[in-house]
Amino acid sequence: MSNVVIVGAQWGDEGKGKVVDIYTEYAEDVVRFQGGNNAGHTLVVGDEKTVLHLIPSGILHPGKRCIIGNGVVLDPKVFIKEITNLKAKGYLQDDSQLVIDGNVHIIMPYHVAIDLAREEKKGDKKIGTTGRGIGPTYEDKVGRRGIRLSDLVKPEQFARKLQEVLPEKNFYLEKFFGKAPLNEAEIIEEYTGYAEILGRYLGCASIILDQSIKAGKDLLFEGAQGALLDIDHGTYPFVTSSSTVAGGASIGAGVGPRHLHQVIGISKAYITRVGSGPFPTELLDEMGDALRKAGQEFGATTGRPRRCGWFDAVAMREAVRTSGITGLAITKLDVLSDLPSIKICTAYSYKGELLDHFPRDLDVLKDCHPVYEELEGWQSDITGARTLEDLPKQARAYLEKLCKVSECPMVLLSVGPRRDQTIQISNPFAG
């Protein structure tokens, strides 16, 4: 038995969906353990593209059970739309293939309204939230005033909890933001309809996974966003609202940490970021535009253009340490194929001092300048490579350098968006 955690090792958008899709072949249960529909996992099977925001990427494999753990916040409308789209494509024909933990917190209309109003009020000081209500939902969870799926499926209990919290939310929206209040009856009618559908998938992730562990099954835990966006360990306050590091898998799925055996960090061969916040290797020139165009760097959830930069090994070492990453899955190497030379950031320069660690103080980080090593490019098509030996020597040299300065070995390499455009160096489930 081997249980594997997949985490983003950068600022998100690293290609976790494809890697989870590949590793699902070896697992029996696939678990999403944090975040909400602010994540977007794009999967390409053959010529068909599927974008998922809540349902684990393993759902494209028949016979695999997919579980949405208690650490997730769920927008019922988005979830139901995903189910409808998947069934239309021939997936999820058996509803028992999907389970939602009863302790999942529900994203309510007032969460979205508050999220949007806050960003609008901040003007040019906005954080860069997706506006999906994720942060306000986690706030209510921690404040012990959230509404969970187990509440939603009980009409009287749901109505009572909504009546307790809605007056406060409407006061906040009206008096502080100058926005229109929300109608209680309309919310109850809409969300009661959602409850009838969501109730089919209600279960307890912790108990189900415990049974799987006792039966010796292999489990795959799927994270969203990236380690540098972790609420505790990321570039706060320019972070997401949940624990994106590997430790979040234990909390967000109800599984003890001794049952997590391998941690695979997903990283692009360069680096991107969406929204505001410091970004030491950001390219604000034609090279940045070229990477964005070649990598089709636009958010799967929001469509926003991503900020692009050279690979940052300082940030990667931070992710390796905080998540205990045992192997790297490198994606989008093919995006660099046309470049005559490629840079890797190996350290930062801060006021004349050389830093080999990622500063926690944002006032320091924003004034850090990357120290680069430049390597020769390969300028040839690598999308047909299926072994490392198929790659040009310059591409192999780049990967060797990337892993060395990241202080972590590579276990998988993606050379194109399709499932088959992948080189597996070692299998974390084989250990």
Beta pairing partners, 267: 330
Residue 126: its pLDDT value, please?
63
Location of each CATH 3.40.440.10 domain in the chain: 3-104+199-263
Average pLDDT over residues 269-296: 95
- Give 14's pLDDT tier (boundaries 50, 70, 90): very high
pLDDT, tens digit, for every residue of 131-146?
A: 899 999 999 999 999 9
At residue 41, does pLDDT exceed 80?
A: no
Residue 288: its pLDDT value, please?
95
What is the domain class of 267-430 according to CATH?
Answer: alpha beta
Which entry of 21, 29, 41, 230 is annotated as an active-site residue? 41
From 141, 41, 59, select the one nearest 100 (Cα to Cα): 59
Residue 301: its pLDDT value, please?
63
Residue 308: its pLDDT value, please?
97
Q: DSSP secondary-structure letter at 174?
A: I
For residue 325 the two structure tokens come to 């990453």
Q: Is 13 a catalytic residue?
A: yes
Output the CA–CA distances (angstroms, integers) from residue 46 to 123, 244, 303, 369, 430, in the order listed.
Answer: 43, 30, 23, 42, 26
From 56, 72, 51, 60, select the one nearest 244 (Cα to Cα): 72
pLDDT, tens digit, for every residue of 95-150?
A: 999 999 999 999 999 999 999 999 888 776 666 677 899 999 999 999 999 999 99
Tell me the average pLDDT of the chain. 94
Does the structural domain 107-194 have CATH classification 3.40.50.1580? no
At residue 211, does pLDDT exceed 90?
A: yes
Residue 221: its pLDDT value, please?
97
Q: Rounded to two decimals, what is the model's pTM?
A: 0.93
Instruction: In whole angstroms, give the CA distance from residue 386 to residue 205.
Output: 37
Q: How many CA atoms lie within 13 A of 368 on its CB side?
A: 28
Which entry of 13, 101, 115, 230 is annotated as an active-site residue? 13
Choose the weakest-confidence range: 46-50, 378-382, 405-409.
46-50
Share of the chain above pLDDT 90, in %: 85
pLDDT, tens digit, for every residue of 282-293?
A: 999 999 999 999
At residue 313, does pLDDT exceed 70?
A: yes
Location of each CATH 3.90.170.10 domain in the chain: 267-430
CATH superfamily of 3-104+199-263: Adenylosuccinate Synthetase, subunit A, domain 1 (3.40.440.10)
Residue 47: its pLDDT value, please?
72
Highest mean pLDDT among 18-27, 51-60, 406-415: 406-415
Location of each CATH 1.10.300.10 domain in the chain: 107-194
Classify 180 in phi/psi space as left (phi over 0), alpha (psi -120 to 50) or beta: beta
Return the C-alpha torsion angle 235, 242, 56, 298, nearest 10. -30
Q: DSSP secondary-structure letter at 97?
A: G
